Chain A
């Protein structure tokens, strides 16, 4: 087998590892929000345990990418592809961390907190799941049209987050005894908002990979 074929195979393997990590982060967010709404402490604990697995996957991706850089001394799009792999993996790991933080908030709230979880959290989660699906597709196909859409969806999440925050602040004024619980809910919203930011970063990385220039999709 010629060196280039071997290199291409290893690049494909790396890509598959990243897509696998992305699916993991997606599942983690889904389960974390599910646990939050149903006050399911067991599920929240599973989320925290699974996040550790994803941390390991991120490290494996980094090691594989660094090894390829050392072995192949890539240039141009090959080099960008490996830099983007490292960046994307790091974004996905942070996305999983945000899901884990929602699980921690769920544990903090406990089983009998008696407050209603704001409906915006579920809506934000739905958009965040759309974003990660989109970023997986954009990454898989190196599709900059899809990548650009991530910026728009992120604006949508940001908007939902700030109006929810406003409502929650008002609620702290009327229900000061619930402030600890409301804070956990606000944090959870913030974690999803950060999740969306990292998905947007992935979009920017894909733009960089294809175009060779840096982009800011939040502009």
Chain B
């Protein structure tokens, strides 16, 4: 497969390239080749081919039912929890074929964190929320756990807001804070990739801004794939954007291009609100 064929940037002259990240310096973290997925008889993902680059934010946009969340859930094999799912094609995570039966899904889940639409902290203290993952992985030493909790909360830029109330129940926090706790919980297992499924759709504008700022900082260390209905958000925070429609990738390009001069009429119509 020719990855470069997928990206507009490679067809542009050097002058136009100056304002965009060409990805040439970024390794591929996830490589999807000719992925098909069926829910029973419904063909939900059609021949998806998509390279995702490390330490970038990749946004997936598209109208409801276009397959974007399905694709996201395929990347950590959560989609298998749905009865009657079949797949064909290849998804490679760091070169390993994750859809192979021999591949250990537990191993994948320690590398790939996920943040959902609604903040879903455990009904436990803030501290225990963050320490949950590391404890499962066998870390018992209080000092080490303390360090992980602080580092993760700092990483999610919420440490200063909660450092004096670590023993309080996470449910007592605001929605925006809860979502950042969930992100901190994700960071505690030191993942490689963070999948985000509409992480700010249940948040107010100020909390949304905080999460967006956080994403901007997190991409220095993590690869982030975000499904969002908020097109301005995709334009603001992502490096690459993939537009899905009816289970297909219609266009995949540098975000700067996709939101200014999309090549496909359907992309233009979607981002300008003519449908969807």
Contacts and interface: CB of A to CB of B under 8 A. Distances in A.
Nearest to B274: A4
B272 A78 contact: yes
Main secondary structure of the interface of A (DSSP, over half): helix
Contacts of B159: none
Q: What bracket does the count of chain B residues touching chain A fall in?
A: 10 to 19
B232 interface: yes
Contacts of A79: 260
B260 A75 contact: yes
A136 to B, nearest CB: 25
A30 B231 CA distance: 47
Q: What bracket does the count of chain A residues touching chain B fall in?
A: 10 to 19
Nearest to B259: A75
Interface string A178-216: 000000000000000000000000000000000011000
A207 to B, nearest CB: 13
A7 B271 CA distance: 14
Nearest to B268: A76
A212 B260 contact: yes
28 contacts: A3-B273, A4-B272, A4-B273, A4-B274, A7-B273, A73-B232, A74-B272, A75-B231, A75-B235, A75-B259, A75-B260, A75-B271, A75-B272, A76-B259, A76-B260, A76-B261, A76-B262, A76-B268, A76-B271, A76-B272, A77-B268, A77-B272, A78-B272, A79-B260, A212-B260, A212-B261, A213-B16, A213-B261
A212 B260 CA distance: 8
Nearest to B12: A213
Contacts of B231: 75
Contacts of B268: 76-77
Nearest to B263: A212
Contacts of A4: 272-274
Given A75-B272, A77-B268, 13 more contacts: A4-B273, A4-B274, A7-B273, A75-B259, A76-B259, A76-B260, A76-B271, A76-B272, A78-B272, A79-B260, A212-B260, A212-B261, A213-B261
Interface in A50-102: 73-79
Contacts of A7: 273
Contacts of B16: 213
B17 to A, nearest CB: 13
A78 B235 CA distance: 15
Contacts of A3: 273
Contacts of A212: 260-261
B111 to A, nearest CB: 34
Interface string B218-255: 00000000000001100100000000000000000000
Nearest to B235: A75
